Amino acid sequence: MKSQTTVYNSFTGMSPGEKVQLVDFICTHTPNTNKEDVIEALDYALKEKPSFGGFILAIKKDHTFIASIVVNNTGMEGYKPSNFFVYVSIHDSYKNDEKVLKEIMCKALDMSNGDVALHIDPQSPIIKFYQKLGFTRRTLELRRDKKATKKAIA
């Protein structure tokens, strides 16, 4: 069966069943994710929480998600990009299929107004793929986890 690409946003919405399936898909096929963070990113993209919105791009094959990108608009330009690709998820069966990743990335980039950022492990071999699409290494993000910091200071 042929794959089907769907765009979800604040106008189209997403059914509760599809949302549950997408959350499960992202959590299963994207390292270092947790359900609450994924739901929050989806809610921001769909404007179910106060936000600048965004969109979710998904590819399904035989009614099963094989790829998705969750894009949150930041409301900023210049020093921060207008769009943040929060989750770029590819089904494990398609991880080595550069065609699927390129298809969804190119569509998401075309749909994004303004600059785009995404976070990736600095050791990831996929960095070269993103660089082919025009991404450049700009900064190293340091993050302070309040709970972990309290333990470290004590």
Sign for the CA dihedral angle at 123, 124, 128, 130 comes to negative
Domain assignment of residue 127, given as a range: 4-153
Question: What pLDDT, on the 0 to 100 scale, is given for residue 139?
Answer: 80
25-47: b or e for each residue (b if 16 or more CB lie within 10 Å)?
A: bbbebbeebeeeebbbbbebbbb
pLDDT tens by residue, 15-42: 999 999 999 999 999 988 999 999 999 9
Q: Is pLDDT above 70 for 123?
A: yes
Question: What pLDDT, on the 0 to 100 scale, is given for residue 72?
Answer: 98
In this prediction, residue 105 has a pLDDT band, given cuts at 50, 70 and 90, of: very high
pLDDT tens by residue, 68-89: 999 999 999 888 899 999 999 9
In this prediction, residue 1 has a pLDDT band, given cuts at 50, 70 and 90, of: low
Q: If DSSP states are collapsed to H, E and C, what string results for the chain?
A: CCCEEEEECCCCCCCHHHHHHHHHHHHHHCCCCCHHHHHHHHHHHCCCCCCCCEEEEEEEECCEEEEEEEEEECCCCCCCCCEEEEEEEECHHHCCCHHHHHHHHHHHHHHCCCCEEECCCCCCCCHHHHHHCCCCCCCCCCCCCHHHHHHHHC
Question: Residue 8 is part of a domain; what is its CATH number?
Answer: 3.40.630.30
Question: What pLDDT, on the 0 to 100 scale, is given for residue 145?
Answer: 79
Q: Is pLDDT above 80 for 153?
A: no
Number of domains in the chain: 1
